[in-house]
Structure 1
Amino acid sequence: MLSKTLVFLGLGLASATSCVATAHAAAPAMPAEARATLSEAIAADHDQALSRLREWIALPSINAEKLNRQEGAELMQRMLLDAGFDTARIIPTDGAPGVFGRLDAGAPTTLAVYFMYDVKQFEAHEWSQPPLEGRLVERDGKTVMIGRGAINQKGPEATLLTAIRAFKTTGTPLPVNIVLVAEGEEETGSENFGQITGDPEVAKALADAVGVILPVAWQGNDGGVEIYLGAKGVAEVQLVADGAKSGRGPGMEIHSSLGASVENPAWRLVKALDTLVADDGYTPAIDGWMDDVRPLSDEQIALIESGIRPGAEAAAKKELKVQGWIAGEDYRSSLVRLASQPTVTIQGLVGGYTGPGGKTSIPSRAEAKLDFRLVPDMQADEVVSKLRAHLDKRGFTDIQIVTGGIYGPTETSRDAAIVRALEKALAGADVPHTLTPRLAGSWPGYRFTDPPVSLPAVFVGIGQGGQAHAPDEWYLIDAEDPKLAGIDRQALFFAEFLYALANTKP
């Protein structure tokens, strides 16, 4: 579910001088000898790193299809041990197993890392390259690897492991200890992730960490990076109007002439859906939905405003193929809305005949897939109950609610050690950045940021990729533009971040 392409591709960056926080602008204390040693090892490992990523892409773990769940966990376990982790244990759950790894460097600082090893489904005929081969393709001055999971999230995760491997192969002491938690159900809502983070050994290890990171590769074409201080939550549900089960409509498809005497489940669903938003078509209207929404602070709004640069709006419209924003709002207002507002979204509607011509029939069943984006302080465990109560109050007791994955929102202080370390690492790497209050996409980070774990969490990385969840998903390997980081530079940046974190006071 995690994808930066779901957030307009960000705000667009201001100049490096204005967006890098001066309080954290000192270069990270990575010893010159370690930098040279690790850089040389990463470069020497380049071809093998590509081979390891191809091997991972070749094994798709698709939880929605219950495909390769155990095999995916076993490969994840082997990859951690091969990269230098001391231990890697498979944790059974009621669904796909998780993996817990530890690397004890004897350091005073411990970092937690989140991985996912599952990927989205794919239709091979929609791709220009085989989706499970990880082929290299040249385009627009870039060498990219195409494959399912290439950017979401196997590419960035494999590159972090390449960095850790470099410490192992060169005998360079790792500056921090690492505990790593991996799951195989992120793309279906992390249904059983709580069983992994709740494992006694995992919970104890997380309690010693200063924060949690998720490796990403979200550099903009101008070379800049956004630091997200949180993410929206998400709840996926399916609403179903079924004449056979409810008695409100036919139990089979019937002739439309009978519409004068028999209810149509498609209309029943449409009427129910119409109550979920106001007449404007986008303001949530579910009873109690907005009660717990916390408005953005003045500081958070200022962060959004400071990150807008000339040309960003035009670039966003071109990328999204849109002509304007909701209610004709200006770009600044649309970005504030994007960060602050919960949403009610119809993903898709299915019901009755959709082939060529007409069929003059009444369907027996209609269904809609929806997702709701949640913001602080909305409670994920209240989503379904509020939706049920809203529908029941309006007489739609017959509409079935089929629940999917549900994530709560996350929020992290800009003063957290992992955020300050990331700013140091980016400044030291001469990568401009902005801080942004909230990612409009979602991930199961609330398992870390909420009690009882209560850790700050942030996305870390440079590099690029795209087409997550879509055909021709890609991950940047090399680029002619020196502002864009290929995988060797990405791996070295992860090492720089670890040193920055080790030298950042909690």
Structure 2
Amino acid sequence: MSESSSHAVRQAIESNLDSHIGRIQRAVQQPSVSVEQRGLREISELMVEYLDELGCDEATLVETDGAPGVWGYYDAGAEKTLINYGMLDTRPVNPDDWDHDPFGGEIKETDEFGRVIYGRGSVKVKGAFVAWLNALESMKEALGELPVNVMFLLEAEEINGSPYYYDMVDEYEGRLEEADACFCPLAGQGADGNVTASLGYKSALYFTLDVSGSDWGRGPQGGAVHAMSNVTVDSPAWRMVDLLSSLTSDNGTHIDIEDYYDQYEPPTEEEREEIRQFVETLDERTETPRDELWKHLPGLGRGAGEVENLTDDLHEDVVEAFIKHFYGPESFNIQGISTGYLGPDTSTKPFTLPGDASAKFDLRMPRGYDPAIVRQQLRDHLDDHGFEDVKMEVSGQHTWCKTDPDSDLVEAARTVISDHGRGLTLWPFSAGGVPWAVFGSTFDIPVLYGVGLGYGANSSGSNEFFAVDGNDAVGGLVDCELSHAEMVIEYAK
């Protein structure tokens, strides 16, 4: 990419920085909490307004059976077309945990990062997405026109499992077939200044199983009774335990659903070599002792808990641990079980025989698995084992995808991040199942999510912020938007 193009875009960003900050603040100030069905239409309407301001030829709400999404199309008359996924909803907040208004979008001066924008959704969701729109506007101003066409398909219920996103994909399938790549840049720097992203995603099935005396026809129906009744009354809670026991064995490390392993494809030698090389790269870029590299496995650092060892003593072979993590099919997690008395301050009563029980799961599968097939296998398993009455509610069902590390899109990201003197670590797979993987699986195009300069923190906790100024290690808003623009320009070449 020419230095003149980069310099012109930077000037455009810097000259409009105050308005760019204001657009991010406005998005953060609009609550959009999907689990509470709060502000979802309003945030989608705001994004339609922003797409209109960008100059999109099409910008409209997409009505669904839930919250509306957004479709947009910018026709630059270019050779290449990008599809851009965006999530507009956030996790809920407890204001008592925040030192700032979670929907205030306040700008505060900090010792470490200079100015920051505080608020839920200020970094991973709305803030960095609006920064991307700002980058596109700056490219138009600096270059006269965008170097690519851009499609936008945005949703406001990702936290709910994207229950209607695929309906929108189906509605616009004929248009989406024109896309050459799916590009979703964000503020992707870690505290050390380096950028991390994933080249692939697992299939996933997120669901809840509900047992009730009313549907079973046994036990308490319509509520709980006293615990002394258990000697003569059946227990839906124990029925849930029996159901759970039928699904797996060996502490959950083997899945006992009939035919579940029929779709399993062991990792090839090429895939094993990719993991070996990745572990070597991780070894070079971190200060972690090699025998502790397994602690970088996705998910281990998210939460208050600590892990001292892995299943089957996999921590003793770090390469095998990573291979298992990405290609092992036994990821059948119980997120939570709820029934009866849950302790003090929970509005539940002790010494009851509960009339229902519920368990929430996430089942994540390696490449090669079709989650629709597993969903039917699970339903058949329940029916064949006498649990026909058990209700299964699926909140999310995502397909897998894998992007070629040598694709033009990935090479563009590598070039730009390297030109800024930062490292780019591309994980072979993510352990998550995500809605934007559908563009890779359905349309067979490269998918790259989350790459870009810029920094923020606490996206799942209190006092979430997005760095406006940054520091020597991490870029600020100008760097974030400039990197987004540069990657698009580089890709267009």
- Length-normalised TM-score, structure 2: 0.88
Conserved? CA contact 1:156–1:461, under 8 Å:
no
Alignment of 1:290-439 (within 5 A): 290-296=261-267, 297-309=271-283, 310-312=286-288, 313=292, 316=296, 320=303, 321-327=305-311, 328-330=313-315, 331-342=318-329, 343-356=331-344, 359-439=350-430
Relative to structure 1, is the Cα distance of residues 116 and 319 closer, same or farther in structure 2, using a 3 angstrom cutoff? closer
1:404 Cα deviation after fit: 1.2
Question: How far apart, CA to CA, are the structure 1 residues paired with 2:446 and 2:207?
Answer: 28
1:88 Cα deviation after fit: 1.4
Task: Tell me which residue corresponds to 2:463.
Answer: 472
Task: Tell me which residue corresponds to 1:68.
Answer: 39
Report the 3-state secondary structure (helix = DSSP H, G, I; strand = E; otherwise coil) of the residue aligned with 2:342: coil
Moved more, 105-114 or 327-336: 327-336
Amino acid at match of 2:147: P
Conserved? CA contact 1:236–1:403, under 8 Å:
yes
- Work out the percentage of aligned pairs sharing the same amino acid: 29
Relative to structure 1, is the Cα distance of residues 175 and 325 closer, same or farther in structure 2, using a 3 angstrom cutoff? farther
Whether 2:221 is the aligned partner of 1:245: answer: no
Residue 287 of structure 1: which of 258, 278, 282 is its match?
A: 258
Moved more, 120-129 or 381-390: 120-129
Question: How far apart, CA to CA, are the structure 2 residues paired with 1:46 and 1:121?
Answer: 29
1:125 Cα deviation after fit: 2.5
Q: 1:314-368: per-residue Cα shift (whole Å, max 9, x none)? A: 7746665413242232244333222223411111121111234983221111111
Relative to structure 1, is the Cα distance of residues 335 and 475 closer, same or farther in structure 2, using a 3 angstrom cutoff? farther
Whether 2:464 is the aligned partner of 1:493: answer: no
Q: 1:221-275: per-residue Cα shift (whole Å, max 9, x none)? A: 2222234111123222111121122123212322222222212211211221233
Moved more, 312-321 or 248-257: 312-321
Task: Tell me which residue corresponds to 1:147.
Answer: 119
Question: How far apart, CA to CA, are the structure 2 residues paired with 1:438 and 1:67?
Answer: 33
Alignment of 1:85-96 (within 5 A): 85-96=56-67
Report the 3-state secondary structure (helix = DSSP H, G, I; strand = E; otherwise coil) of the residue aligned with 2:325: helix
Which structure 2 residue ranges, 5 or more long, are not aligned? none
Task: Tell me which residue corresponds to 2:446.
Answer: 456
Report the 3-state secondary structure (helix = DSSP H, G, I; strand = E; otherwise coil) of the residue aligned with 2:211: strand
Q: CA RMSD in A?
A: 2.4
Report the 3-state secondary structure (helix = DSSP H, G, I; strand = E; otherwise coil) of the residue aligned with 2:123: helix
Conserved? CA contact 2:276–2:319, under 8 Å:
no
Whether 2:209 is the aligned partner of 1:229: answer: no
Moved more, 138-147 or 79-88: 138-147
Amino acid at match of 1:485: G
1:212 Cα deviation after fit: 0.4
Task: Tell me which residue corresponds to 1:23.
Answer: none
Report the 3-state secondary structure (helix = DSSP H, G, I; strand = E; otherwise coil) of the residue aligned with 1:250: coil
Question: How far apart, CA to CA, are the structure 1 residues paired with 2:117 and 2:335?
Answer: 29
Conserved? CA contact 1:232–1:441, under 8 Å:
yes
Task: Tell me which residue corresponds to 1:185.
Answer: 157
Residue 78 of structure 1: which of 38, 41, 49 is its match?
A: 49
Question: How far apart, CA to CA, are the structure 2 residues paired with 1:282 and 1:134?
Answer: 44
Relative to structure 1, is the Cα distance of residues 196 and 359 closer, same or farther in structure 2, using a 3 angstrom cutoff? closer
Relative to structure 1, is the Cα distance of residues 233 and 144 closer, same or farther in structure 2, using a 3 angstrom cutoff? farther
Amino acid at match of 2:229: L
1:138 Cα deviation after fit: 5.2
Report the 3-state secondary structure (helix = DSSP H, G, I; strand = E; otherwise coil) of the residue aligned with 2:117: strand
Conserved? CA contact 1:127–1:471, under 8 Å:
yes
Amino acid at match of 1:152: K
Question: How far apart, CA to CA, are the structure 1 residues paired with 2:417 and 2:488?
Answer: 12
Report the 3-state secondary structure (helix = DSSP H, G, I; strand = E; otherwise coil) of the residue aligned with 1:280: coil
Task: Tell me which residue corresponds to 2:169.
Answer: 197
Question: How far apart, CA to CA, are the structure 2 residues paired with 1:228 and 1:110?
Answer: 21
Amino acid at match of 2:488: L
Conserved? CA contact 1:307–1:435, under 8 Å:
no
Report the 3-state secondary structure (helix = DSSP H, G, I; strand = E; otherwise coil) of the residue aligned with 1:445: helix
Question: How far apart, CA to CA, are the structure 2 residues paired with 1:128 and 1:369?
Answer: 32
Question: How far apart, CA to CA, are the structure 1 residues paired with 2:53 and 2:385?
Answer: 58
Moved more, 159-168 or 334-343: 334-343
Task: Tell me which residue corresponds to 1:9.
Answer: none
Relative to structure 1, is the Cα distance of residues 130 and 274 closer, same or farther in structure 2, using a 3 angstrom cutoff? farther
Residue 92 of structure 2: which of 117, 121, 127 is its match?
A: 121
Relative to structure 1, is the Cα distance of residues 137 and 432 closer, same or farther in structure 2, using a 3 angstrom cutoff? same
Conserved? CA contact 1:374–1:408, under 8 Å:
no
Moved more, 159-168 or 314-323: 314-323
Relative to structure 1, is the Cα distance of residues 282 and 487 closer, same or farther in structure 2, using a 3 angstrom cutoff? farther
Conserved? CA contact 2:203–2:370, under 8 Å:
no
Report the 3-state secondary structure (helix = DSSP H, G, I; strand = E; otherwise coil) of the residue aligned with 1:368: strand
Conserved? CA contact 2:454–2:470, under 8 Å:
no
Question: How far apart, CA to CA, are the structure 2 residues paired with 1:484 and 1:283?
Answer: 43
Conserved? CA contact 1:69–1:184, under 8 Å:
yes
Report the 3-state secondary structure (helix = DSSP H, G, I; strand = E; otherwise coil) of the residue aligned with 2:60: strand
Question: How far apart, CA to CA, are the structure 2 residues paired with 1:335 and 1:465?
Answer: 27
The count of residues paired between Structure 1 and Structure 2 equals 470
1:289 Cα deviation after fit: 2.5
Amino acid at match of 1:228: S
Conserved? CA contact 2:5–2:143, under 8 Å:
no
Which structure 1 residue ranges, 5 or more long, are not aligned? 1-28
Task: Tell me which residue corresponds to 1:8.
Answer: none
Conserved? CA contact 1:234–1:408, under 8 Å:
yes
1:500 Cα deviation after fit: 1.0
